[in-house]
């Protein structure tokens, strides 16, 4: 049995599918998954047996005609039994309709949009934990009739661990501890631990290389590793410190504990890393406006970013 699955979104969202696939395939040994996503995500799935990675460049499949071409290519190459839409956006809705017209059964993720809108309403004072995103992925396979019981436990792939990883950046301001606080945190931690910096892009790399020069016992790995090497290095860490961002999910993939820092977003939305502990979450709990955003991409309702400015670095140190 072969399942054609697709998700074309951000790195962290795609990374979250990996532990779900791993446990699903262990419990269903007669199944293969074809994972269709962006080209550069291949190393996320490199160690998964019975996952066939199909990387694509979305620029090659623009518009309806492009998606029709993609749908045909995937059918001709893989002959799937079922279709799993793990994204549910306009692009994948079009693919879904094409496959349904060809007689395929398509199963799609329920992202819980209305629940998340209610959760991020700043006037809603009754915040509740929503279903975890990894369970939403698993639900797609459950609807096909498969049994999937997620363990929600880390699986370390490296026994000898040393050093602390720190990824101080995030895609949006609402998810990122102010850099002066991050710098202060590293200065304190580096007195007792070796700190390894993770990041990407020119500006992040330059910032972290400057930190490395200013703070003894630190080493910047930004811009120096490919994805496979980065996963291997994170696997060797005692702990990763990350914002609510992709590095938290990379730590989950390789079984490394992650202390995660949350600002305008909140674990209640379901994006805490697979197997990570709520006890390792750092956040300001008494702000009724949190969370105001699912992805951290909104401007601060109050205008003062209290959700991040009020975090004391000692809160993070206490978790280590």
- Determine the average pLDDT of the residues in 46-68: 94
pLDDT band at 201; cut points 50, 70, 90: confident
Chain centre to alpha carbon of residue 107: 22
pLDDT band at 292; cut points 50, 70, 90: very high
Cβ(264)–Cβ(291) below 8 Å:
yes
pLDDT band at 194; cut points 50, 70, 90: very high
pLDDT band at 9; cut points 50, 70, 90: confident
Mean model confidence pLDDT for the chain: 95
The first and second tokens of residue 315, run together, are: 């809160």
- Determine the average pLDDT of the residues in 123-136: 94
pLDDT digits (tens, 9 = 90+) for 217-232: 999 999 999 999 999 9
Which residues, including other chains, have CB under 8 Å from residue 288's CB and lie 6 or more apart? 122, 125
Write down the pLDDT at residue 10. Answer: 85
Q: What angle do CA 280, 285, 291 make, to 5 degrees?
A: 95
Write down the pLDDT at residue 34. Answer: 98
Write down the pLDDT at residue 163. Answer: 96
pLDDT band at 125; cut points 50, 70, 90: confident
Which residues, including other chains, have CB under 8 Å from residue 129's CB and lie 6 or more apart? 267, 268, 270
> Residue 303, Cβ neighbours under 10 Å: how many?
7
Q: Of 165, 169, 189, 186, which is closest to residue 237 (Cα–Cα)?
A: 165
| pTM attached to this predicted model | 0.93
pLDDT at residue 122 tops 90: no
pLDDT digits (tens, 9 = 90+) for 137-164: 999 999 999 999 999 999 999 889 999 9
Cβ(7)–Cβ(33) below 8 Å:
no
- Determine the average pLDDT of the residues in 30-54: 95
Write down the pLDDT at residue 147. Answer: 95
């Amino acid at each position: 049995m072969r399942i054609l699955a697709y998700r074309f979104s951000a790195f962290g969202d795609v990374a979250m599918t990996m532990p779900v696939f791993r446990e699903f395939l262990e419990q269903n040994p007669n199944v293969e998954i074809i994972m269709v996503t962006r080209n550069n995500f291949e190393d996320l799935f490199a160690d998964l047996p019975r996952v066939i990675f199909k990387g694509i460049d979305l620029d090659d499949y623009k518009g309806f005609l492009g998606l029709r071409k993609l749908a045909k290519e995937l059918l001709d190459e893989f002959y799937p039994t079922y279709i799993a839409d793990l994204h549910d956006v306009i692009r994948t809705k079009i693919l879904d309709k094409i496959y349904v017209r060809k007689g395929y059964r398509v199963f799609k993720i329920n992202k819980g949009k209305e629940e998340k809108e209610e959760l991020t309403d700043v006037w809603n004072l009754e915040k509740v934990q929503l279903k975890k995103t990894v369970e939403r992925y698993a639900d797609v396979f459950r609807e096909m009739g498969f049994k999937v019981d997620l363990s929600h436990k880390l699986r370390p792939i490296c026994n000898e661990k040393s050093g602390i990883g720190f990824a101080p950046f995030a895609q949006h301001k609402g998810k990122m501890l102010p850099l002066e606080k991050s710098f202060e945190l590293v200065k304190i931690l580096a007195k007792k631990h070796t700190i390894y910096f993770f990041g990407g892009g020119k500006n992040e790399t330059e910032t972290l290389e400057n930190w490395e020069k200013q703070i003894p016992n630190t080493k910047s790995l930004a811009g120096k590793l490919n994805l496979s090497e980065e996963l291997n290095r994170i696997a060797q860490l005692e702990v990763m410190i990350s914002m609510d961002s992709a590095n938290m999910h990379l730590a989950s993939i390789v079984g490394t504990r992650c202390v995660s820092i949350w600002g305008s977003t909140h674990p209640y939305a379901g994006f805490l890393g697979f197997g990570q502990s709520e006890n390792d979450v750092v956040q300001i709990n008494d702000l009724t406006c949190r969370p105001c955003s699912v992805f951290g991409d909104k401007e601060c309702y109050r205008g003062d970013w209290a959700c991040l400015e009020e975090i004391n670095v000692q809160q993070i140190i206490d978790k280590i």
